[in-house]
């Protein structure tokens, strides 16, 4: 690739949000370059992501769903069990996909398989150029176009820079977009595990005093685990040998999934939160964790990231062939489109998490009463299911069911 090459859009970052954004932009007729290191053959990510219907439709529309469907499992129900042992315990609350008129809420998808599938699709996508060998070293947004300097000293020009370079985003820094960030006194241990009882497509959240312990179905008798604890306890869980970890997990699950079998590689994630005060400025659009970081509670993070990706592609595509796709009109439309969806979910997850940690009686009462109301009131529960599944505001076109979509498959 020659230096100084001129593109309409440059996407920086090859995580799931960046890869999806690059494919979506190219598909929307925007000549795009992707600056992202190729996934290493042995790259390990112990996380899975519960992706809701809109995200699955997006993957179908990008042509990658068939590559990962077999390694993903449908989620037909979500149950919340109060394991706080407190005086005011909430009743079991159960959300069924059929309450929202769907066959399932979506699918639990392994991160690694998702990145590999998107990367494969990107290899020969028309209108998409890859720079798999390089990282972005510097971004200058002061000129008529953004100038990207790569780590070999070569430069690229682009009207629009899609910052999908993760939570420590260099592109976000260059755009001078202000963020609010905070941390929680909690860490999550994530892994996959086998078990003897079938999960029946049900994801279970055990609400505990130190944070939730969540299991999400995988194909067969296997599930993924996100176990949130105080940092010292999470560190201890990481240091246990497999047999001791298995014994503890089995005790925590109280027989819900029968005996626990083999356990995959464990990874620890300190919990933090971050939200940008706007999502586009100075030729930069923030996508995925470059724009928002949410604790792994309620499966919102990547669903938001994919909605960012579909939305920036729609805003840029709609601007027309002669428009400046990194100009204020496109970026203001994008930022406005993402604001309510992102901020409402960052806030909801924060409140839910803090209500578990709080030892205050009124907070426990409010939480218990809220879950009780949800269990008893069908319309309220149905509404919450819909809100949790779908973005607040218009659904980007790329997240609507594809024309040849059989309604049964993704709900
Ligand atoms: C335990 C756990 C469970 C979760 N479960 C769910 C779930 O069930 N559902 C859900 O929706 N979300 C879930 N999430 C959130 C989800 O995992 C994240 O939102 C998602 O992985 C973030 O993807 P991303 O593409 O935004 O960022 P990343 O995956 O961090 O990608 C950023 C990329 O940018 C690259 N990069 C950085 N700097 C540069 C540079 N200078 N030049 C080029 N490239 C660069 C990096 O190499 C990286 O590949 C979970 C998170 C955790 C921790």
Q: What is the pLDDT of residues 387-401, one digit of tens each?
A: 556 665 678 999 999
259 DSSP assignment: S
- What pLDDT score does 320 carry? 87
How far apart, in whole angstroms, are the C-alpha atoms of residue 351 and residue 259?
Answer: 33
Q: Is the CB of 136 under 6 A from ligand 1?
A: yes
Nearest Cα to 399, choosing from 316, 305, 291, 329?
305
Q: Whose CA is nearest to atom 1 of ligand 1?
A: 190
**What are φ and ψ of residue 401, in 5° steps?**
-55, 135
- What pLDDT score does 321 carry? 86
pLDDT in tens, 194-214: 999 999 999 999 988 888 999
- What pLDDT score does 133 carry? 84
pLDDT in tens, 1-36: 334 489 999 999 999 999 999 999 999 999 999 999
Integer CA distances (angstroms), 258 to 92, 93, 101, in order: 19, 21, 30
Q: Whose CA is nearest to atom 41 of ligand 1?
A: 136
- What pLDDT score does 173 carry? 94
260 DSSP assignment: E
**Residue ranges of the chain whose pLDDT lies below 50:** 1-4, 407-411
* Structural domains of the chain ordered from first start: 5-72+110-181+273-357+393-399 (3.50.50.60)
Q: Whose CA is nearest to atom 20 of ligand 1?
A: 302
Closest ligand 1 atom to 171 CA: 41
Q: Is the CB of 296 under 6 A from ligand 1?
A: yes
Q: Is the CB of 49 under 6 A from ligand 1?
A: yes
Neighbouring residues of 152: CB distance < 8 A, sequence distance ≥ 6: 134
Q: Is the CB of 305 under 6 A from ligand 1?
A: yes
- What pLDDT score does 326 carry? 96
At residue 52's C-alpha, the angle toward residues 47 and 54, to 5°, is 125
Q: Whose CA is nearest to atom 27 of ligand 1?
A: 166
**What are φ and ψ of residue 67, in 5° steps?**
-75, -25
How far apart, in whole angstroms, are the C-alpha atoms of residue 312 and residue 315?
Answer: 5
β-pairing, 222-229 vs 211-218, is antiparallel
Best residue among 21, 45, 47 to mutate for probing ligand 1, ranked by most atoms within 8 Å of CB = 47
CB-based contact 129:34 (threshold 8 Å) = yes
Q: How many CB atoms lie within 10 A of CB 236?
A: 15
How far apart, in whole angstroms, are the C-alpha atoms of residue 325 and residue 185?
Answer: 41
Closest ligand 1 atom to 269 CA: 53
Best residue among 135, 166, 225, 310 to mutate for probing ligand 1, ranked by most atoms within 8 Å of CB = 166
Q: Is the CB of 257 under 6 A from ligand 1?
A: no
β-pairing, 136-140 vs 93-96, is unpaired
Distance 289 CA to ligand 1 centre (A): 6
For residue 130, the Cα-to-chain-centroid distance in whole angstroms is: 23
Q: Is the CB of 299 under 6 A from ligand 1?
A: yes
pLDDT in tens, 36-85: 998 887 777 889 999 999 999 999 999 999 999 999 999 999 998 887 66
**CA dihedral sign, ordered 317, 60, 343, 381:** positive
Q: Which two tokens stand for residue 377?
A: 């009131």
Q: Is the CB of 269 under 6 A from ligand 1?
A: yes
């Amino acid at each position: 690739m020659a230096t100084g090459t001129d593109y309409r859009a440059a996407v920086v970052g090859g995580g799931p949000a960046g890869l999806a954004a690059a494919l979506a932009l190219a598909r929307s007729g925007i000549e795009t370059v992707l600056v992202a290191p190729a996934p290493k053959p042995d790259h390990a990510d112990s996380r899975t992501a519960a992706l809701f219907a809109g995200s699955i439709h997006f993957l179908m529309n990008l042509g990658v769903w068939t590559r990962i469907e077999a390694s993903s499992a449908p989620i037909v129900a979500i149950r919340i069990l109060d394991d706080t042992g407190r005086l005011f315990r909430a009743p079991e609350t159960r959300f069924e996909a059929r309450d929202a008129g769907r066959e399932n809420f979506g699918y639990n998808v392994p991160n690694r398989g998702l990145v590999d599938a998107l990367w494969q699709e990107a290899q020969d996508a028309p209108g998409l150029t890859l720079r798999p060998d390089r990282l972005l070293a510097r971004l200058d947004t002061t000129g008529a176009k953004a100038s990207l300097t790569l780590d070999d000293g070569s430069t690229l020009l682009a009207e629009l820079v899609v910052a999908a370079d993760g939570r420590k985003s260099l592109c976000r820094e260059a755009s001078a977009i202000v963020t609010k960030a905070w941390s929680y006194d909690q860490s999550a241990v994530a892994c996959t595990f086998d078990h003897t009882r079938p999960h029946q497509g049900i994801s279970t959240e055990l609400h505990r005093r130190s944070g939730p312990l969540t299991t999400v179905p995988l194909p067969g008798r296997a599930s993924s685990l996100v176990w949130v604890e105080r940092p010292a306890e999470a560190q201890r869980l990481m240091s246990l040998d497999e047999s001791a970890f298995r014994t503890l997990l089995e005790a925590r699950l109280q027989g819900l999934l029968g005996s626990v079998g083999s356990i995959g590689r464990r990874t620890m994630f300190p919990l933090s939160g971050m939200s940008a005060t706007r999502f586009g400025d100075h030729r930069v659009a923030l996508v995925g964790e470059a724009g928002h970081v949410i604790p792994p509670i309620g499966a919102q993070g990547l669903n938001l990231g994919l909605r960012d990706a579909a939305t920036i592609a729609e805003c840029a595509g709609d601007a027309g062939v002669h428009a400046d796709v990194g100009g204020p009109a496109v970026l203001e439309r994008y930022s406005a489109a993402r604001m309510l969806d992102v901020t409402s979910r960052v806030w909801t997850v924060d409140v839910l998490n803090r209500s578990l940690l709080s030892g205050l009686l009124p907070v426990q009462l409010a939480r218990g009463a809220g879950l009780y109301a949800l269990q008893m009131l069908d319309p309220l529960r149905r509404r919450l299911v819909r809100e949790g599944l779908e973005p607040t505001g218009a659904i980007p076109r790329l997240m609507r069911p594809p024309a040849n979509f059989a309604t049964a498959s993704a709900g």
